[in-house]
Chains A and B, each alone.
Chain A
Amino acid sequence: MKETPLSNCERRFLLRAIEEKKRLDGRQTYDYRNIKISFGTDYGCCIVELGKTRVLGQVSCELVSPKLNRATEGILFFNLELSQMAAPAFEPGRQSDLLVKLNRLLERCLRNSKCIDTESLCVVAGEKVWQIRVDLHLLNHDGNIIDAASIAAIVALCHFRRPDVSVQGDEVTLYTPEERDPVPLSIHHMPICVSFAFFRQGTYLLVDPNEREERVMDGLLVIAVNKHREICTIQSSGGIMLLKDQVLRCSKIAGVKVAEITELIQKALENDQKVRKEGGKFGFAESIANQRITAFKMEKAPIDTSDIEEKAEEIIAEAEPPPEVVSKPVLWTAGTAQIGEGVENSWGDIEDSEKEDEDEGGSDEAIILDSMKMDTGVEVSGTGSQDAPIVLSDSEEEEMIILEPDKNPKKIRTQTISAKTEKIPSKKQLKKRKKKRAAMLKLT
């Protein structure tokens, strides 16, 4: 799907507003949007909301053999996905330039800055190390994906607990969470990306641009900093010329912003830890705001299932017994065998047998069957007149019909099962005759 185009009027207004130091959502130049962090019930699962931008982060781990040149180091793997849910223009399964750029930036921010102690992820040198995988899903795109994703990644990593292992000789024991408490990763520092959008060839700058601001910006500077004000990565894109002073000023702002965000993250993590320890309620259900009218909760509801057995019995009693199962193999000709009713060759004769089903019943069931068909709308068939007599002749035309491919082979089974009421011997004979003919056809 295409993105809604940006009109000239919006572009002009946005730029004029920026010149007047005004932003659409009432923020100041250096303000971040509200950041909300919520945790799932699993370890290493979080949702970060940066204004309306939302990112889901999940960390998982597995024991793998290490890379040959780094025998004592665990492996870190990052994967950011831009789902179509986030914006209509994101197409599933396509590696867009934006996606590649964002993934690369995340790797540089989190892996190359050595914020995770990869050596502590080694179990047996050269044989078994932990591979830590960070999956990030963009759920809603309202600008500044990279900041939200980097916060989600580091929060998820901090929240994650891996199973404890012990090594005795050659034996590696993996403990379940019940046996031993899972252990957190050792994290040296928390790098967080801060984005600066530049307008009018770098004359104006905004922190944390939203989607509309991103669409009119000239260039973007992303600086990853930790709370010790160490720069972990820096990237300028969009082809604007920045002065040394500007970059320095940005890095200072980034330091301040990251200190604030880090504090928020730590508070959120502590809070979650506390709730878990005290055995309170946690998880996403708790983070849904109750006062919103779009949200609704229902407590555990008991379901009265006392009468289901009777109902089931009633239905079974009403239903016709299933057809006898022919357990002896039938040999039609040399080299062929058939067990049970099986699936007969139904090329072309489906329509007929369906009609038979509906005709022979005259019972409620057949009628209801029909209505089911209409209701579910999954299949619409039986277009021919229902009362058409079934004529089986040995003429050539009949054989021609057999060669018509069936639209849906599943109907065959429909017929064998729903035709459980068929006890009319003549019908069976008919079937057999058909089968024989089909078999003969194959031979010839």
Chain B
Amino acid sequence: MTGRIVVIGVGNPLRGDDGVGPAVVEALRGRVPDDIALAVSDGEPGRMLELWRGADIAVVVEALLLHPARPGELHTLTAAEVAGRARGTASTHALGLGECLALAEALDLLPRKVIVHAVEVADVELGTGLSEPVRSALPELIERTATSVRRAGEENHQRRTSGGAPLP
């Protein structure tokens, strides 16, 4: 479907700060237009590829672990930047988001545009609830994601009205 926009919150709400992606998606329910697909994922690549299959723009919200860590720090990354970071460092997931994006690229399954909003985590031990730094950063993260969704909608609208070639 040309012009489809999907928001994917990646993470496990039972792993502390890893639940930040799903938390953002929950916060967006009712705040974004009905034609925006909201999804939660554990980041498993096969399912990620399915979630953004046919999408024009994917907005992904992720937990991020960097060394040295600055918990609560927000990052907005492109697909290429995330793929460049690849395994281990950039994602809390088995095959990280970086590998997932690289896999999608190899199979020509990348959406036209992928925007990754990430927050640096403090604690991904078993347990519910976000750490203080991540909780404090949450409103700004939600705002950034909502802004990306709004801009994606405007961009799609412009492409349609300006006769921009629809992507297959």
The answer to whether A and B come from one shared complex is no
Chain B residues at the A interface, C-beta cutoff of 8 Å: none
